[in-house]
Amino acid sequence: MIKISVAQPIINLKFVIKVFVTYFVLSISCFLMLRTIIGYTSFRDDVQFLLFKQDYIDNQLWKIAFYIHVFSAVMTLFAGYTQFSSQFLEQHRALHRLVGKIYIFTVLVINVPVGMIMALYANGGFLGKAAFVLLDILWFLFTYKAVIAVKSRDFVNHRNHMIRSYALTCSAITLRTWKIILSYSFDIEPEQLYIIYSWMGFVPNLVIAEWYIRFITKQRA
């Protein structure tokens, strides 16, 4: 009698669905970010986020940091398409390393320094500034630890720290998502709202990242 196994097709179907959902969400996120960024290509001072930063609009240090951050940060989001796929890593190691180096450079050399400048000028008083300063420090630490790990050929810790780093990269998306959800769901003072979504933009991301790291560690044990 010929035995027909349905386990493999089911596993493959689950994998396909997972990959499709992941890339679909990532694509929508990147599209929305690109849409936002295009709005700043006019370099006008009265568009989008800049409307709320009129107190600093004449501060050239802050303004330069803002535009560098806006136009370079999206490059880090695109890393999600290549850097977390085991199949991609196996088939395209050279490209994986190249994209990884671009990501590391963009985070550590460009976005962490300008991000700190922006954090120090953040709205929301001490709590608002503290959220973005902490985000920037953690972004640096996890990305730097990922570099140290890969140089030591500790690929497990490299992967884990990169997951944490990318979770913070995605705060650019989740912060804006929480802003929309909270502003339409609750009647909160703008400054208080800003403080809340400043923290909500990255803390849940780290919680999910830690859960995912534990999950894949258990799966591969």
pLDDT of the chain, 221 residues: tens digit per residue: 444 444 445 556 665 665 566 666 667 766 777 777 777 776 777 766 777 777 777 788 988 998 898 888 778 887 776 777 777 777 888 888 898 899 999 999 999 999 999 999 988 889 999 999 999 999 999 999 999 999 999 999 999 999 999 999 989 889 888 888 888 888 888 889 889 989 999 999 999 999 989 988 777 76
Give the separation between CA 122 and CA 127, rounded to whole angstroms.
9
- Structure letter (DSSP) for residue 170: T
For residue 187, what are its two tokens? 């009647």
Instruction: Give the per-residue pLDDT at 17.
Output: 67
Which residues of the chain form beta strands (DSSP E)? none
Instruction: Give the per-residue pLDDT at 12.
Output: 63
Instruction: Give the per-residue pLDDT at 18.
Output: 59
Tell me the pTM.
0.83
The secondary structure of 49-62 as a DSSP string is GGGG-TTTTT-HHH
b/e per residue, 176-186, with b = 16+ CB within 10 A? bebbeebeeee
Instruction: Give the per-residue pLDDT at 2.
Output: 46
Instruction: Give the per-residue pLDDT at 91.
Output: 80
Instruction: Give the per-residue pLDDT at 5.
Output: 47
Neighbours of 142 (CB within 10 A): 22
Instruction: Give the per-residue pLDDT at 22.
Output: 63
Q: CB within 8 A of 164, min separation 6: which ones?
A: 138, 142, 206, 209, 210, 213
